[in-house]
Structure 1
Amino acid sequence: MTGTHASRTAPDLTLMYATHDAFRRDLGLLAAATRNGGAAPGSAFRTGWDTFQRFLTIHHTAEDDVLWPLMRSKLARDPDGLRLMDEMDAEHAVIDPMIESVEEVLADRRQDRLPGLVATVTERLVYHLDHEEKAALPVVATLLSKEEYDTFGAAQRRLLGLKGGAVYFPWVLDGAPEETSRKALGVLPPPVRLMYRAVWRPRYEKNRRPLTRASGG
């Protein structure tokens, strides 16, 4: 793939990879929890699923609206690169309706369908995440400047809303390597880091325990 780029500061994709890892982690927990029920409102599965699908929707929306169009502009004369962007779009188009199907099953309390649906979502989403990391993200890191890539992060923050970070940061850093946590928290002002340690993370861990227990963890 080809592209032209002047001297630039490369983007930091730490949170991108951490978010992908968090999706994989949640899929494993959710799949295990389906063996113990979870269709009822307020259940461990329902609560965990709501968090997972919220952040996946935000992530995919920001990619579709900001990151992939930006990449298409960089790859305008690169047929292979544009084909890769088509593949990213096509994979989203397969996954997003699957997420809606799980929502419909939960609304209808069709608990018997959850294991199969979650297994299918897991298969397709993990394939997409692996494909994106192997093929697309190296191109993102090569072609985009930090400033350009930061527009993607800004789009996600807008979708999260003012209170979204209080859930997102402990969620994305759950089980993350120390270096990832250090980088992610380093962008926050000191008072916000204090809130993370004193309030956000303990609250997240408390809310997460039912799903961990339901998954057998």
Structure 2
Amino acid sequence: MAEMSMNKAIHAAFRRDLGRFIDALGRFPAGNRQRAEQLATAWANFDDQLTRHHEGEHDIAWPALEKVGVSHDLLKQMDAEHDTMAAALAATRTAMATLHRSASAEDAAAALTAMQELQRVTIQHLEHEEAEIEPVYLAKKDTPEMKAMGREFAKVGPVQGGTFFAWALDGAAPDESAAITGTVPKPVLTVITGVFGRSYRKSVAPVWRS
């Protein structure tokens, strides 16, 4: 099993959700307000996870990566890609809110179009970031800078952390799960997902089983 960073495992979760949304919107049953409500719930989680991830990269990951040799110009390019993603995220947020209100076939089609564009720009960025920065995460994982970065990312409340890990592990492939469970002590992960990931398991995960 090839080694991957936790960052790449998180990227995989974004890819999974984008694919799930596109599949669900393509098969949206017109007029089904219950399904519109379910997708709105899942979207709220995705929107929050993607926003927090890229804000965290700018505030925490980029300074650490620059300290271990990643060029400032490359990180500026990554931030520019984040801006493109943020615009697509905002457009999709609006489209999903409209679908939530109407549950119409027309608004489902508009939300699908917005989601497809969000998927396009997001995957383009993730592939670029992985090509340039994944090798650095793996090569420098034991440096003081990367360990300090990990501690900063870990400074979240238990509810946010439990939701994050429950989401990141939902549908993860074995190598993706290993990248996450290898970073967080198993007893800690078991408790935080078991107790504080309950909301995700109850309200979001079932959306993708429907």
TM-score (structure 1 length as normaliser): 0.74
Which 5+ residue runs of structure 2 have no aligned equivalent?
A: 102-106
Whether 1:27 aligns to 2:18 is: yes
Which 5+ residue runs of structure 1 have no aligned equivalent?
A: 1-11
Asked whether the 8 Å contact 2:163–2:196 carries over to 1, the reply is yes
C-alpha distance in 1, partners of 2:198/2:159?
16
Counterpart in the other structure of 2:58:
64
Shift in Å at residue 122 of structure 1?
Answer: 0.3
Shift in Å at residue 179 of structure 1?
Answer: 5.2
Counterpart in the other structure of 1:126:
123
**Identity over aligned pairs, percent:** 27
Counterpart in the other structure of 1:89:
79
TM-score (structure 2 length as normaliser): 0.76
Let me know the Cα RMSD of the aligned residues.
Answer: 3.1
Which of the numbers 128, 144, 164 marks the counterpart of 1:147? 144
Query: Do the aligned partners of residues 88 and 40 (structure 1) sit closer, same or farther apart at CA in structure 2, a change above 3 Å counting?
Result: farther
Shift in Å at residue 13 of structure 1?
Answer: 5.5
Whether 1:18 aligns to 2:9 is: yes
Shift in Å at residue 120 of structure 1?
Answer: 0.2
Shift in Å at residue 55 of structure 1?
Answer: 1.1
Paired residue total: 196
Query: Do the aligned partners of residues 37 and 188 (structure 1) sit closer, same or farther apart at CA in structure 2, a change above 3 Å counting?
Result: farther
Shift in Å at residue 52 of structure 1?
Answer: 1.2
Q: Indicate the SS of the match to 1:164.
A: helix
Counterpart in the other structure of 1:157:
154
| Residue type at the aligned position of 1:166 | G
Which of the numbers 82, 103, 115 marks the counterpart of 2:93? 103
Shift in Å at residue 171 of structure 1?
Answer: 1.1
Query: Do the aligned partners of residues 202 and 163 (structure 1) sit closer, same or farther apart at CA in structure 2, a change above 3 Å counting?
Result: closer
Q: Indicate the SS of the match to 1:175.
A: coil
